Structure 1
Amino acid sequence: MRKKKILFVINTLGRAGAEVALLSLFSAIDPNQYELSLYVMMAQGEMKDALPSYVHLKNPYFSTESVLTEEGRRDMMKTVLRKFIQNGKWFKKAAYMLRVWKQMHKNGKIMPDKILWRVISDGSEQFDETFDLAVAYLEGASTYYVADHVKARQKAAFVHIDYESSGYTPLMDKDCYRHMDRIFMVSDEVKKHFIKYYPQYQNKVAVFHNMLDYKKITSKAKEAGGFTDSYDGIRLLTVGRLAYQKAYDIAIDAMKIIKDSGCKARWYVLGEGSEREMLEKKIAQLGLQKDFLLLGAVENPYPYYVQTDIYVHATRFEGKSIAIQEAQILGCPVIASDCNGNREQIENGIDGILCSLTPEAIADSIKELIADPKKREKYAKRARNRNTQNNDELDLLLNMTK
């Protein structure tokens, strides 16, 4: 019997939540039944070597530099320029960018990456073959590309973010979701906010929770690694890009309150991003150089989870956080901001704490758990039992190839 051909498309292949979830999804699909291909819009990312051997990377060239490094940013800008030129239609691309920029300016927030996504899509490689299923695994360029430039019997798109808060608009998307046979949301909250903007696609929408490889995570957590200092106080951990969404500016203020209260705690952050310089300045201004540590991105974050006392995820908005799921799998008590996405992953007072996104509320929640080891243990145990995998959702995706 012929293997069904599935093409997955993602924007980058860096060390981030969606990429981790995609790799776990690959591991759950039987390569004896499905021929899997991957196209990366930016042709870049340090997780290329983590791809299973049976996944065919369709990019004719590829950079393994992280998009968060200086060299990686240079590679990324070269790719953007090349894709603006490639396939022509320069005036059409420029006109689209201008329309979106004007809308963003009117709304008071300019997001350059989102302005460029359609340009990147229209300048990308176009393949002659027809797939049984094409899957846009991220919103933005991946979705535009699958909608406009991929030949497939069936098409699906994943939405990982709170559409309302993240800056996407129907004008920017140009009705690309009309071309999708199924639209998968990673949580019920993501579904609710998406349907607010696209009520006409309600019958296409289904929930497909992020898949994580539990055995791999627990195995890698036992490997060598983790904290290298000899600190003997309470360790706080956050994993995520150094980006506005993650609200590290507020976390730093919370750490200042914790320090001034006399609590012996140290906050560690695993991740890299464009806000590093700004955050380092704020850390220095508040005298927290030994208390709030930006450790950068690491290849294996899991030993850090098991060595930490409290995992903190105080973000402005989320779709569904992979980092929270990983913390729960590895038995961390979790504190998170009470925002879209987070509140679906934590039941306040049962398996973690949801708090307001203010320095005072975050600091009070941390101090509450520092003072109560039994409560930390209770939350950790319940969080560990929370995560279950739903194979029916995988079947819903793969049945699209029939």
Structure 2
Amino acid sequence: MEKKKILVSMYSMHIGGAERSLIGLLESFDYSVYEVDLFLYRHEGEFLSFIPNEVNLLPAIKQYTTFERPIKDIVKEGHIYLGCARILAKLKAKIKNRGLQNDQGTYKQMQYTWNYSMLGLPNIEKKYDVAVSFLGPHNFILDKVKAKTKLGWNHTDYFRAVNPDKYLDEEMWSRLDYIVNVSQDSEESFLKVFPNLGHKTITMENIISSKFVRDQSDEEIEDEMPDDGSIKICSVGRFCDAKGFDMAVIACKKLVELGYDIKWYIVGYGADENYIKQLIIENNISEKFILLGKKINPYPYMKRCDIYCQPSRYEGKAVTVREAQILGKPVIITNYPTAKSQLENGVDGYICELSVKGIVDGIEKLCKDVELLNSVASNSRTRDYGNKIEMNKLYSLIG
């Protein structure tokens, strides 16, 4: 029987939750049935080496490498049309995004970039049975790929996290055959914005390999997280408003003032890193709130901590929380809108109020209530968080 031909598209393989989820998806395909091509707009990123050997990584196409790179660089390379499209998109987004924080306008600017760039981007000539766009906007598979079935992923709490040009987004989503959400709460959030698209939506959780997470966690990192008797808290994510690390800094300061000997370690990078560094200095907790930087492998740091904390303002479904649970860590998350789909409160994790005070109270509770701390850690260790069965949902769509 001839294999089904599938194309998966992604920007790059830099460290991030969506990228880790993509690796989980690619590892889970039945390659005796499916032939999978991966098209990366840029052949960059620490996760490139994790792409399974069975996947055919398509050659980079110069025009697509211009996304998320400085405009001056792409103009110097001769991409004049695409440079002008980027400038126009940036100007329009600036007008539309007045009064918003920087990261709230990022998606809208990317929408305009795709919209204005389409005429300058080449088509993919090969024909596919299925085209999958793993990170939006999804214009590429809609306009540049020939496929019988087209799917686009939604990784976030769309109602609160995304500030789109609704007209452009509704047109885009409505042209897809299926819209894949990473949790039930994410789907409900998406449908608050586009209730007319319910017939296209499905929920499919991020694919996580428990064995991979555990195997990768054995790396020795004692020099970076010394066993000094302190309570070690760990968080992993991008430095942006959504992840709430600014609240974590203030919460750490208050916990120190309450007399707790804690060290809070952050694994990550991002646009707000200098802002977080300044907050740390202003609150005089440089020895307590420690930025470890970008790490290809965050799992040893998760494994070594006493408590894993996700202080987010919103999430779709945080991959890092599930990974910490796989490692048997007591997990505390803020009560962001999709939190209840992330864990069972008081059983395999703890949900605190979404505020600095909530984070402080939650960490205090776990520190004082040793029985609760041990219970949620024990329940996490004994639960099976591997979910390759989720692939059956995808197979049912693509045949």
Q: 1:236 to 1:249 in 2, by over 3 A?
A: same
Superimposed CA distance per residue, residues 67-103 of structure 1 (whole angstroms, 9 cap, x where no aligned partner):
xxxxx99982259846997595888776665554433
Structure-1 separation of matches of 2:152 and 2:76: 22
Superimposed CA distance per residue, residues 367-397 of structure 1 (whole angstroms, 9 cap, x where no aligned partner):
1211232221101122334554455531231
Q: Is the 8 A contact 1:242 1:274 kept in 2?
A: yes
Superimposed CA distance per residue, residues 221-269 of structure 1 (whole angstroms, 9 cap, x where no aligned partner):
1233354434221100001111111111111100011101111111000
The Cα shift of 1:343 comes to 2.5
Q: Is the 8 A contact 1:126 1:150 kept in 2?
A: yes
1:138 aligns with: 135
2:19 aligns with: 19
Superimposed CA distance per residue, residues 313-356 of structure 1 (whole angstroms, 9 cap, x where no aligned partner):
01110000001000111111111110122221122223222112
How many equivalent pairs are there?
391
Tell whether 2:16 aligns with 1:36.
no
Q: Is the 8 A contact 2:242 2:313 kept in 1?
A: yes
Structure-2 separation of matches of 1:297 and 1:95: 32
Match of 2:105 among 88, 107, 111: 111
**Where in structure 1 are there 5+ consecutive unaligned residues?**
63-71
Tell whether 2:194 aligns with 1:183.
no
1:325 aligns with: 322
Q: 1:189 to 1:387 in 2, by over 3 A?
A: farther
Q: Is the 8 A contact 1:37 1:55 kept in 2?
A: yes
2:254 aligns with: 257
Structure-2 separation of matches of 1:316 and 1:274: 17
Superimposed CA distance per residue, residues 24-74 of structure 1 (whole angstroms, 9 cap, x where no aligned partner):
111111222211111223443221122112212224269xxxxxxxxx999
1:219 aligns with: 215
AA in 1 matched with 2:96? Q
Deviates more, 1:298-307 or 1:341-350: 341-350
Q: 1:212 to 1:285 in 2, by over 3 A?
A: same
Structural mapping, 1:1-400, within 5 Å? 1-60=1-60, 76-77=69-70, 81=74, 88=81, 98-105=91-98, 111-112=105-106, 114-120=108-114, 122=118, 123-140=120-137, 143-169=138-164, 170-173=166-169, 175-225=171-221, 227-391=224-388, 393-400=390-397
Q: CA RMSD in A?
A: 2.9
1:67 aligns with: none
Structure-2 separation of matches of 1:294 and 1:90: 35
Structure-2 separation of matches of 1:268 and 1:287: 15
**Where in structure 2 are there 5+ consecutive unaligned residues?**
none
Q: 1:347 to 1:361 in 2, by over 3 A?
A: same
Structure-1 separation of matches of 2:284 and 2:87: 46
TM-score of the pair, normalised by structure 1: 0.88
Q: Is the 8 A contact 1:146 1:155 kept in 2?
A: yes
Q: 1:377 to 1:124 in 2, by over 3 A?
A: farther
Q: 1:340 to 1:82 in 2, by over 3 A?
A: farther
The Cα shift of 1:182 comes to 1.2
Q: 1:349 to 1:35 in 2, by over 3 A?
A: same
AA in 2 matched with 1:51? I
Superimposed CA distance per residue, residues 156-180 of structure 1 (whole angstroms, 9 cap, x where no aligned partner):
1110011112224223425111221
The Cα shift of 1:276 comes to 1.4
Give the fraction of aligned pairs with identical amino acids, expressed as a percent. 28
Q: Secondary structure at the match of 2:284?
A: coil
TM-score of the pair, normalised by structure 2: 0.89
Q: 1:164 to 1:262 in 2, by over 3 A?
A: same
Deviates more, 1:112-121 or 1:22-31: 112-121
The Cα shift of 1:144 comes to 1.7
